[in-house]
Amino acid sequence: MKKLSYHIVDAFTSQPFGGNPAGVVLLEEDIFPEEDLMIKIAAELRYSETAFVLRHSENEYTARYFTPKAEVDLCGHATIATFALLHSMKLAAGSCLCHTKAGDLTIEVGERVMMQMATPKIVETIENTEEIYRALELGGTTPNLPIQIVSTGLPDFMIQVADVATLNSLRPDMGAVSAITKKHNAVSFHVFAFGGDGHTAHVRDFAPLYDIPEESATGTANAALTHYLSVNGVIPAKGHFSFLQGEAMGRPSVIMTRIAENGTIYVGGSAYILAKGELFV
């Protein structure tokens, strides 16, 4: 029997029971457990993602991420949770390297944790939008901005709706959302509206294909949204931005992003360490 320690960390918040909770398993051995075991642990912990983390040195780590159903290449909120936890365990402020299946990422550790995202790209512009609005149970909506699939490590649909009230009233057909994301090899519908309240946008994220009906804070998708808004001329090509997510779930989260001078996108925020425990497997 093996004993594994785990933590529950709420990312993108400084308060308990806010933000987006993630499981974090800091591995003491120098190899990952079997993939089937990591999926079972993620399913047992029941969070949208659980990070399994190997330490190579004080400033170099490898992370793998599992939903309750499958491995994903990258998870923003679980990465923020991981490095906030490590910082609380005496990891010094500064820069770290994190190896992931989406690439090697620079993590800035300090009062906030900010993670470098993979090179942003527009994957696809959707011409036939009718089935997407039908899946969101919105009839006849014509956005000001195009529906595009954008990736900063994971591909997500970027979908504008008219206003925050419309956003918060959405009740998507999850079966249809799953089918559409699967057809386009995407992870989620990342739906947004402008609120004119100091935040860059209000957002909701639906990823039922990965057994996540809705997520209260999504780092990778908000990094993708930052690139999308910049490319479409809504925000500047560099600067600091913030996104409010999780309102409809009662878990408001603030996700910070930054576009650096060289175009690199960083995403991050605060985190609250809620609990710790042990698994006997």
* Average pLDDT, 10 consecutive residues per value, the chain (281 residues): 92 90 94 96 94 96 94 91 95 94 91 92 95 90 89 95 95 98 97 95 96 90 97 97 94 94 94 95 90
User: Which are the contacts of 233, defined by CB distance < 8 A and separation ≥ 6?
Assistant: none
Q: Classify domain 121-263 by CATH architecture.
A: Roll (3.10)
Best CA proximity match to 113, nearest among 253, 269, 260:
269
Q: So what's the pLDDT on residue 179?
A: 98
Report the amino acid identity of residue 69. K
Find out whether 263 and 214 touch, Cβ atoms under 8 Å: no
Q: So what's the pLDDT on residue 1?
A: 77
Q: What φ, ψ does residue 187 adopt, rounded to 5°?
A: -95, -45
Q: So what's the pLDDT on residue 95?
A: 95
Cβ count within 10 A of residue 142: 8
CATH number attached to the domain at 3-116+269-280: 3.10.310.10
Find out whether 253 and 246 touch, Cβ atoms under 8 Å: yes
- Rg of the chain taking only CA atoms, in angstroms: 18
Q: Where are the domains of the chain?
A: 3-116+269-280, 121-263
Q: So what's the pLDDT on residue 125?
A: 97
pLDDT per residue over 122-167, tens digit each? 999 999 899 999 999 997 666 789 999 999 988 999 999 999 999 9
Same fold? 3-116+269-280, 121-263? yes
Report the amino acid identity of residue 62. T
Could you confirm whether 278 is annotated as catalytic?
no
Q: So what's the pLDDT on residue 18?
A: 87
Return the percentage of the chain with pLDDT > 90, whole number: 83
Q: So what's the pLDDT on residue 157?
A: 98
Q: So what's the pLDDT on residue 183?
A: 97
Active-site option among 28, 29, 35, 49 = 49
